[in-house]
Amino acid sequence: MRNLTVNGERLWASLMELAQIGATAKGGVCRLAASDLDAEARRLFIRWCGEAGCTVTVDRIGNMFARRPGRNPDLPPVMTGSHLDTQPTGGKFDGAYGVMAGLEVVRSLNDLGYETEAPIEIVAWTNEEGSRFSPAMVGSGAFTGVFDLSAALATPDNNANDLTLGAELERVGFAGEAPVGGRVVAAYFEAHIEQGPILEAAGLPIGVVTGAQGQRWYEITVIGQEAHAGPTPMPRRRDALVGAARIIDAVNRIGHAHAPYACATVGFVQVSPNSRNTIPGRVFLTVDFRHPQDEVLTAMDRELRAACAEAAASQNLEADVKEFWYFPPTPFDQRLVNAVREATNAQGFANQDIVSGAGHDAVYMAKVAPTAMIFVPCVGGISHNEIEDAKPEDLTAGCAVLLNAVLECADRK
């Protein structure tokens, strides 16, 4: 195992410059997928990669690949990266860190005049967040064949149904020419902030990620009847929002019932007609369930469906429950996980194994290539929040681990 270092100041400076694009008043970033700001960040990425001697290609769904040649052009690339899109109240590091860490790996190799055997590609995946366009991980999902390309491009904007991901990518100039997927990747690494509290609480700079927990997402439509808020007596009402409130409470209870590992969230609610003096006739809401064990996710699914039926019956409503997205708990590749652990130990960084609570493009890449992730702590375990923060020394440590783990694969003959 090599033991090379990276330029942490340059990594930090790039992260801070990138964070200016979509910067919010509270110190975070709002850079939604396929928006004008996303395009601006993409152009900066392409410029930096060009300056680092990489050739950038953009595929039909906007995934960007910056290739640093290796000695042997016939070898498949070792790929590393993450995403440039953010949540509406996102931070400076979620996604951006993995992409900038990939760039710093390339810049550090350039500084050393180090020629790898296999090419290295820095990737920035399209629409990882799944906030503007749902579900998440759409670019990597199309690349790995999980999502049909035309269906992925037809994904509507959650707040403006007449806009699609494909049309927005075209509008901002990032519906590229390259075909999506269908090529061999030797290995995929993704560096990311943990987005939870474990590493910080343990005082550790590095988490060796052994896999990601599974997720089930649902879209639920509760249908009642609109009626006048004044003359309609309480017993006659079919108030869809009351049913939805009971479902939301049940989701939270299901999460608590499967402690300590279950997570259960309702993060998106649309009330119709959303008028103060009309009883709500229709509510649309989303549910996000996560757990590291598939059988628990299955139990949570059963409990959700029962709770929806009960809530609907209690108010004389209909509740339509659609499972919208699912991926099972995903273990990462043992050889690559070991490479991350060995690179961490070689650098002398204290570490522990950790399972990812968040979804990542690595989950889909694990379907087509040996994959592993590196976590660094984030302040207070807070992410998907404008106050998201991370320490420069931890980011540097994670990037150094990435560099040496990448070399372990890129120099294999």
Residue ranges that bind Mn ion, judged by CB under 5 A? 94-95
- The distance of closest approach from Cβ of residue 190 to ligand GLV in the complex, given in angstroms and rounded to an integer, is 12
Nearer Cβ to Mn ion, position 95 or 102?
Answer: 95
User: What is the chain's length?
Assistant: 413
Nearer Cβ to ligand GLV, position 268 or 349?
Answer: 268
- The distance of closest approach from Cβ of residue 147 to ligand GLV in the complex, given in angstroms and rounded to an integer, is 16
Nearer Cβ to Mn ion, position 94 or 301?
Answer: 94
Residues 6+ apart with CB under 8 A from 230: 277
- The distance of closest approach from Cβ of residue 183 to ligand GLV in the complex, given in angstroms and rounded to an integer, is 25
Alpha helices in 52-191 (DSSP H): 96-112, 138-143, 149-153, 165-171
- The distance of closest approach from Cβ of residue 130 to Mn ion in the complex, given in angstroms and rounded to an integer, is 8
Q: Which does 406 bind (CB under 5 to 8 A by kind): Mn ion, ligand GLV, none?
A: none
Q: Which does 359 bind (CB under 5 to 8 A by kind): Mn ion, ligand GLV, none?
A: ligand GLV
Q: What angle do CA 161, 166, 172 make, to 5 degrees?
A: 100
Contact between 136 and ligand GLV (CB under 6 A)?
Answer: yes
- The distance of closest approach from Cβ of residue 220 to ligand GLV in the complex, given in angstroms and rounded to an integer, is 18
d(CA 42, CA 20) in angstroms, rounded, equals 13
Q: Which does 204 bind (CB under 5 to 8 A by kind): Mn ion, ligand GLV, none?
A: none
Nearer Cβ to Mn ion, position 101 or 317?
Answer: 101
Q: Which region, left, alpha or beta, applies to residue 359 given φ > 0 means left and ψ of -120 to 50 means alpha? A: beta
Do 228 and 247 touch, CB atoms closer than 8 A?
no
Long-range pairs, 292-297, Cβ under 8 A, ≥24: 292/211, 292/213, 292/214, 292/261, 292/329, 292/355, 293/214, 293/261, 293/329, 294/214, 294/328, 294/329, 296/258, 296/261, 296/262, 297/214, 297/215, 297/216, 297/328
Residue least distant from ligand GLV (Cβ): 358
Q: Which does 303 bind (CB under 5 to 8 A by kind): Mn ion, ligand GLV, none?
A: none
- The distance of closest approach from Cβ of residue 358 to ligand GLV in the complex, given in angstroms and rounded to an integer, is 3
Out of 359, 370, 377, 398, the only residue in the binding site for ligand GLV (CB under 6 A) is 359
Nearer Cβ to Mn ion, position 109 or 206?
Answer: 206
Nearer Cβ to ligand GLV, position 190 or 408?
Answer: 190
At 344, list the tokens: 């961490």
Nearer Cβ to ligand GLV, position 135 or 280?
Answer: 135
Count the residues of the shown chain that bind ligand GLV, applying the rule CB under 6 A.
4
DSSP output for 343-388: HHHHTT--EEEEEESS--HHHHHTTTS-EEEEEE--GGG--SSTT-
Contact between 28 and ligand GLV (CB under 6 A)?
Answer: no
Out of 59, 104, 129, 394, the only residue in the binding site for ligand GLV (CB under 6 A) is 129
- The distance of closest approach from Cβ of residue 95 to Mn ion in the complex, given in angstroms and rounded to an integer, is 4
Contact between 85 and ligand GLV (CB under 6 A)?
Answer: no
d(CA 156, CA 152) in angstroms, rounded, equals 9
d(CA 60, CA 58) in angstroms, rounded, equals 7
d(CA 385, CA 87) in angstroms, rounded, equals 8
Nearer Cβ to Mn ion, position 70 or 130?
Answer: 130
Q: Which does 388 bind (CB under 5 to 8 A by kind): ligand GLV, Mn ion, none?
A: none
- The distance of closest approach from Cβ of residue 253 to ligand GLV in the complex, given in angstroms and rounded to an integer, is 21
d(CA 334, CA 12) in angstroms, rounded, equals 30
Alpha-carbon distances, residue 403 vs 7, 122, 148, 389 (angstroms): 11, 12, 33, 22
Q: Which does 81 bind (CB under 5 to 8 A by kind): ligand GLV, Mn ion, none?
A: none
d(CA 47, CA 54) in angstroms, rounded, equals 10
Out of 39, 358, 399, 402, the only residue in the binding site for ligand GLV (CB under 6 A) is 358
Nearer Cβ to ligand GLV, position 77 or 95?
Answer: 95
d(CA 270, CA 219) in angstroms, rounded, equals 11
Residues that bind ligand GLV (CB under 6 A): 129, 136, 358-359
